[in-house]
Structure 1
């Protein structure tokens, strides 16, 4: 009699997913970020806008009235050279002209968009630094709480209470873009090692670096102060992850 041979099959990684047996599970940051997004958007829509928001609403109104030659947002003077007329403000003005909405309404709709850019950028940047799933959640908590919880109605303040009024500002959008720029910069600096050549085993194609440069340029045009911090952060990431530079230090 021939002995029966038992063959043990090993399941190849990912095979259950291909057969539909796997199930998608949200990460801790996706859950926490979604809840934080809902909470902040509801609070942002409920708290009355004030202070610098009036200037930004006036910028939208000026661009809505004349997109090519807007007047100064705070005086009846020509608006040429005003730092408020950035690509960010122009996009708001175009949206206002297309929809017929006023400056205050555009700010109300811009806040959730800026928050989405901020949350996704923060999560992407932290994942470049560490693969631990709870690290982005802790980073979000630190961003919202370590600044304090009192309101500060100035650009660039993004603690828990300040977000209820500062989300539509250009600084909030620029900070979100800075997180995305750091994430892309860190990924390239970490993966390439020493500078060698273009192609397999060398640097990535120049198109990726050109796009990254455009992203930093956009941050500069939207909010120059944030661009300075973004550039310093990029230098720190590159210097820290280039093995050749680290060995020299």
Structure 2
């Protein structure tokens, strides 16, 4: 029958698409996702330009040290920060092992590997945001709106913290395990939503290793991943047969077994640990300035709850905020990281509702104006890395117009060139103590809390390090502290130089940027 021929009274056959199936699939994919790509690709290019200028800060050196130790030995890396050859670390995760192996095959340094990981993790994260939003809305405009909100709808103050998905943090910390774990959690939620609609054992078998990798890579992200899965499975759990409930229990048991079987470190031993709480207090400071615009999502959550008391984003936001509140009340400040999952739920819900409101009455579109204004402020608040990308002639103007970024940390090649891999270094000043482990050296006391170190051992190492850098200490007492941990080098900042001037057995070897000095011991 010819195309368009009559097949009945008043009826015509629907014309067929004569294009090959592959062409139709590509066209359908492009039609669905091109708005998201228009936003995602420029942001990926921006992050790549930022990581190229090497904005090292805080725990960047620690993560580079983890990659460095694994590139040196995948089977016996030792502790990444301390001279403990038989020690291990919760930072040896499936992500860091795979990244180190890939970096070694490609001939990348530890820093180069983290740069490549930044782009890969960011692509995985943005695709996770888009896929999660599509689960909640069929509109092709909802994913790019959600992406815009997750990057910029935070607060009027820029906030830098690893594992947070605001644009400022991602520009500097996208290569870290926390970003990978967050991205994996998003894709895990999408898989849970698909399984809830069509329970297939094969999909469940894929979800189990993804969940285990997420938990091992970042324990708090694993908690968020579990909450998100429960949120998307809450309603199906009430209706599904017992056989499917047993499948979920078996999957959870298998995931736990895989986590426990991880050969480098049993991350379940971190449950109840408070070593990192004092570091995370800062995430509770200035809640309005950092997270304030996320409150706009509460309006969307309220509307979704009126329609469905078991709405997944609403359940996730409520559970995450409950843990945030418990963390503040109990002093378990590490739970401040659950702000991340609360913000994602609020931002995605707002994006989905905003696309729906846009098709409604004209007065409902005023919500879009409010969100656009909040995003504009967020773009400015998160824009300080642009100062580093400005041409030298325009940098002074950029610093006046944009939020001022922190000072970039210098390389330590000038000091590392005198040392040998594994040498123990005494240092207390930033960035010296944060970056030197990335060059293959060990510290007396970790610059960042090490959950693998017992509190007693951590206190003893800290006391020894303080002895080395305390003014007026007797030379024999200082040398005894240095000898205890076989210290071969001292890295001192400008203000610490008088402590070692004229001290027998401590000789200046090299001068570095900012007045830093490298001393050789013995």
What's the TM-score once normalised by structure 1's chain length? Answer: 0.82
CA contact (8 A) 2:103 2:113 kept: yes
Kept in 2: contact 1:126–1:136 (CA 8 A) = yes
Give the counterpart of 1:226 among 217, 221, 242. Answer: 221
1:53 to 2:60 alignment? yes
Which one has a larger percent strand, Structure 1 or Structure 2?
2
Deviation at 1:43, TM superposition (A): 2.7
Asked if residue 17 in structure 1 is aligned to residue 19 in structure 2, the reply is: yes
Show the counterpart of 1:207.
202
For residues 97 and 39 of structure 2, what CA distance do their matches in structure 1 show?
Answer: 33
Deviations 1:179-216 (A, max 9, x none): 11001101121x24xxxxxxxxxx42x22211111111
Kindly report which structure 2 residues correspond to 1:1-16, keeping only aligned pairs within 5 A, or say none.
7-8=5-6, 10-12=13-15, 15-16=17-18
Question: Aligned partners of 1:171, 1:20: CA distance in 2, in Å?
Answer: 37
Partner of residue 197, structure 1: none
Deviations 1:83-106 (CA, angstroms, capped at 9, x unpaired): 111111111221233233211111
Please say if residues 150 and 161 of structure 1, whose CA atoms lie closer than 8 Å, have aligned partners that are also in contact: no
Residue 109 of structure 2 corresponds to residue 106 of structure 1: no
Partners of 1:52 and 1:154 within 8 A in 2: no
Q: Which residue of 1 aligns with 2:425?
A: none
CA contact (8 A) 1:29 1:123 kept: yes
CA contact (8 A) 1:149 1:161 kept: no
2:171 is aligned with 1:167: no
Partner of 1:141: 148
Residues 101, 16 of structure 1: alpha-carbon distance in 2 compared, 3 angstrom cutoff? same
The alpha carbon displacement at 1:225 in A equals 0.6
User: Distance between the aligned counterparts of 1:140 and 1:149, measured in 2?
Assistant: 18
Q: Distance in 2 between matches of 1:20 and 1:57?
A: 42
Using a 3 Å threshold, how does the CA distance of structure 1 residues 145 and 12 change in structure 2: closer, same or farther? same
2:132 is aligned to 125
The partner residue of 1:217 within 212, 215, 218 is: 212
**Is 1:244–2:239 an aligned residue pair?**
yes
| Superposition RMSD in Å | 2.7
The answer for the alignment partner of 1:3 in structure 2 is none
Contact 1:47 1:164 in 2 (8 A): no
**TM-superposed deviation, 1:150:** 5.0
Return the alpha-carbon distance in structure 2 between the equivalents of residues 56 and 223 of structure 1: 13
Q: Which runs of 5+ in 1 are unaligned?
A: 1-5, 193-202
What is the CA–CA distance in structure 2 between the aligned matches of 1:107 and 1:247, rounded to whole Å? 42
Name 2:103's counterpart in structure 1. 96
Structure showing greater radius of gyration is 2
Structure 2 match to 1:195: none
Q: For 1:109 and 1:127, how far apart are their aligned partners in 2?
A: 28
* More divergent stretch after superposition (93-102 vs 22-31): 22-31
CA change 1:100–1:239 in 2 (3 A) is: same
> Equivalent of 2:188, from 163, 181, 188?
181
How do 1:64-75 residues align onto structure 2 when only pairs under 5 Å count?
64-75=71-82
Tell me how far 1:36 sits from its aligned partner: 2.4
Which residue is equivalent to 1:196? Answer: none
- CA distance 1:68–1:12, change in 2 (3 Å): same
Against the structure 1 CA distance between its residues 16 and 55, is the aligned structure 2 distance closer, same or farther, given a 3 Å change threshold?
same
Query: Structure 2: any 5+ residue segments left out of the alignment?
Result: 7-11, 241-307, 311-522
Q: Distance in 1 between matches of 2:139 and 2:238?
A: 23
Partner Cα distance (2:23, 2:206) in 1: 38
The alignment covers a number of residue pairs equal to 230
Shift of residue 138 of structure 1? 1.4
CA distance in structure 1 between the aligned counterparts of 2:13 and 2:70, rounded to whole angstroms: 64
> How many Å apart are 1:229 and its aligned residue?
0.5
Normalised TM-score (structure 2):
0.41
